[in-house]
Amino acid sequence: MKKITKASTGKQIKKSWRLYLCLLPFLSCFFLFTIFPVIRSVIYSFCYYNVLQPAKFVGLQNYKNLLINDDVFVKACINTVVFAVFTGPVGYLLSIMLAWMINDFRHTVRTILVIIFYAPSISGQLFVIWQLIFSGDSQGYANVILTRLGIINEPIQWLTDPKYMMTICIIVALWMSLGPGFLSFVAGFQGVDRGIYEAAAIDGITNRYQELWFITLPAIKPQMMFGAVMSITSAFGSAVVLQTLCGFPSTDYAAHTIVTHLQDYGTIRFDMGYACAISSILFLVMVLLNKYIQKMLRGVGQ
Amino acid sequence: MRKLPKEPRLAKRRKQLNRSGAGNALSFTFLALLGLAMLFPFVYAINNAFKPLNELFIYPPKLFVQHPTSDNFTQLFTLMSESSVAFTRYIYNTLFITVTGTFGHVIFASLAGFVLSKYEFPGRKAIFTVVTTSLMFISQITGIINYITISQLGILDTAFAVILPAFGSSMGVFLMKQFVDSMIPNPVLESAQVDGAGLLRIFWKIVMPMVKPAWITLIIFDIQALWNIDGGIYLISEQNKTLSYALSQITASGISRTGVASAASVIIMTVPIITFIISQSNVVETMAASGIKE
């Protein structure tokens, strides 16, 4: 039995050579630059590797150093969690809520709102403007307003005082968080089949919130899954905001994240094995988190 | 308030439960206020870009420009012409990366998405599962190893160091596959096959025209990603650097360049935003198919 299936699979592969050829340009770049790096990271994470000399196997040494001896890494983990908890779930709920609210308006109003909300996520380096708004001198916009309102007497060092750095960066990250996930929700809400609302009304759905939970959200569950993936990537990826606004290294490492730590070892110190251990951990966290969130999303509408 | 849709008309058109008139007004007010807050940095940057020097450092600062001037833009261009590499070189580099990267990625991703959506072959499911999972492989994770790979391939410090990784991004294939799934009925392809059309012919003459919103979306997403690329560790020598990098160098030199910095960021942000505004209906249509089904 097994032999026959094998042979037929072989035959099928031979028969589909044209299809594989069509996939080849994408697949070769995809494996080389997206899949392969992850595999190679995991392998190097067990090695000492400085790019110049061949990699040397060191077992769990990198992980041991990382988790036991590296205080900055612990700090980076805490910062990453704080940043990700606020920007991830909050950004996600914000995307759904805004898309849902927008959905009730006329086409033109809806289009304008979508453009306004989406624009920050594609405006590139524009977020450095926040550096001027929250600039630490008395000229900074935020400081001027607060001084004039009599709330503060002297300028606050928004981006160098560890008390405020994280909050400001979370605000900026949320400002930029309405990306592809948000568009997906907007499109999802528009695409919900109107017929099921009628059926729901007959079944006794009486208010908008019941309707949202039992009808609309289950209907856009695929978009919610996609949005979750986008939120996870941006919650961990947008650490660049922290780095740009607060500088590197930041005061007391208050804006130091796992990604910053990774870049420090990978592109400055060229301790690749160590950097790869960091990225393997980050990768593992993201994948597990995604698994967990997908499981949670299955419970929507029940 | 006048812009609010009339409640009865909406209720008639849709069977969905609607907000009360008051609820509608409330949510519109909320969205309008939030929208203004979101726009604030844009307004601030654009106004700063047109402020003369004395207005930039006035105390207390004013949000809106009183006597608009193009000084900052002129100064930006002067600074550009003084740079060690001719500024047109940076513009050329960015254009080359954006155009080549977008064109190649759209073709490769569309072809792959189409094949994954419509043909049965061994490995098809596995490939798509890997593609979906890899939506999470952020460039921060892959970037460091890619530096090694790129230098081993001997393309470090060439445009291809950023173009080839862009070809391998999974988002394009994912969106294209989902869109072809939902937009192209099998009978259309079967009848074309009966008429003797080959795979590539079907792809180019039948599928691509039908999935226009999807490849427009890919173009927009690629422009957003590639236009802003600064090359980082992959582009080393000055003549290979990009526009985004050059502008950030000009503006990095402190407070005295505040106005110039704003002018530069206004210039760099216009391309992705305007292309999105032009094509937003296509993008939204494509994103309707973006859901991840179990």
Q: What are the structural domain ranges in chain A?
A: 71-297
Question: Does the model's pTM come out above 0.95?
Answer: no
Domains defined along chain B, listed by start = 80-287 (1.10.3720.10)
CA–CA separation, B42 and A123 (whole Å): 9
Question: Cβ contact (<8 Å) for A34 and B136?
Answer: no
Tens place of pLDDT per residue across chain B (294 aa): 344 444 444 444 444 566 667 777 888 899 999 999 999 999 988 998 898 888 887 777 778 888 888 888 888 888 877 777 777 888 899 999 999 999 999 999 999 999 999 998 999 999 999 999 888 888 888 888 898 899 999 999 999 999 999 999 999 999 999 999 988 898 888 888 888 888 899 999 999 999 999 999 999 999 988 988 888 888 888 888 898 888 877 767 666 677 888 888 888 888 899 999 999 999 988 998 888 876
Task: Tell me whether A116 touches chain B (CB under 8 Å).
Answer: yes
Q: Check residue B253 and give its pLDDT.
A: 66
Please, which pLDDT band fits residue A7 given cuts at 50, 70 and 90? low
Range with lowest mean pLDDT among A7-21, A147-161, A212-226, B250-264: B250-264
Considering only residues A128 and B224, tell me which one the structure prediction assigns the higher pLDDT.
Answer: B224
Q: Check residue B3 and give its pLDDT.
A: 44
Pick the CATH number of A71-297 from 3.40.50.300, 3.40.109.10, 1.10.3720.10, 3.40.190.10: 1.10.3720.10
207-266 of B, contacting A, C-beta below 8 A: 221, 224, 227-228, 232-233, 244, 247-248, 258, 261-262, 265
Q: Check residue B32 and give its pLDDT.
A: 92
CA–CA separation, B274 and B272 (whole Å): 6
Residue A300 pLDDT greater than 50, yes or no? yes
CA–CA separation, A114 and A121 (whole Å): 12
CA–CA separation, A17 and A7 (whole Å): 16
CA–CA separation, B127 and A139 (whole Å): 55
Question: Cβ contact (<8 Å) for B258 and A132?
Answer: yes
226-265 of A, contacting B, C-beta below 8 A: 226, 229-230, 232-233, 236-237, 239, 259, 262-263
Residue A203 pLDDT greater than 50, yes or no? yes
ipTM of the shown complex: 0.86
- The structure tokens listed for A123 are 């405006």
Q: Check residue A158 and give its pLDDT.
A: 84
Q: What percent of chain A has pLDDT over 90?
A: 35
Q: ∠ at Cα A272 (A267, A278), nearest 5°?
A: 90
2-61 of A, contacting B, C-beta below 8 A: 9, 12-13, 16, 18-20, 22-23, 25-38, 40-41, 44, 51
* 8 A C-beta contact, residue B202 and residue B195: no
Q: Check residue B109 and give its pLDDT.
A: 95
Question: Cβ contact (<8 Å) for A32 and B164?
Answer: yes
CA–CA separation, A229 and A287 (whole Å): 10
**Mean pLDDT, all residues of chain A:** 86
CA–CA separation, A250 and A160 (whole Å): 7
Considering only residues A285 and A3, tell me which one the structure prediction assigns the higher pLDDT.
Answer: A285
Question: Cβ contact (<8 Å) for A115 and B276?
Answer: yes
Residue A5 pLDDT greater than 60, yes or no? no
Substitution target in B7, B12, B16, B235 with the highest count of A β-carbons within 10 Å is B16
- Other residues' Cβ atoms within 10 Å of the Cβ of residue B270: 11
- CA-to-CA dists, residue B286 to B112, B141, B179, B212, B242, angstroms: 17, 28, 6, 9, 30
Contacts of A224 (CB under 8 A, 6+ apart): A96, A185, A188, A217, A297, A300, B291
CA–CA separation, B229 and B273 (whole Å): 15
Q: Check residue B155 and give its pLDDT.
A: 92
- Which amino acid is it at B118? K
Q: Check residue B6 and give its pLDDT.
A: 42
Tokens 């393997």 locate to A280
* 8 A C-beta contact, residue A242 and residue A257: yes
Task: Report the gap between the CA of B75 and the closest CA in chain A (Å).
Answer: 19
Q: Once rounded to an integer, what is the mean pLDDT over residues A107-125? A: 90
Query: Considering CB atoms only, which of B41, B131, B272 is closest to A130?
Result: B41
Helix (H) or strand (E) holding A21: helix A17-30
Choose among B64, B61, B60: nearest CA to B47.
B64
Contacts of B116 (CB under 8 A, 6+ apart): A23, B124, B127, B128, B131, B173, B177
Residue A62 pLDDT greater than 80, yes or no? yes
138-167 of B, contacting A, C-beta below 8 A: 138-149, 164-165, 167
CA–CA separation, A292 and A130 (whole Å): 34
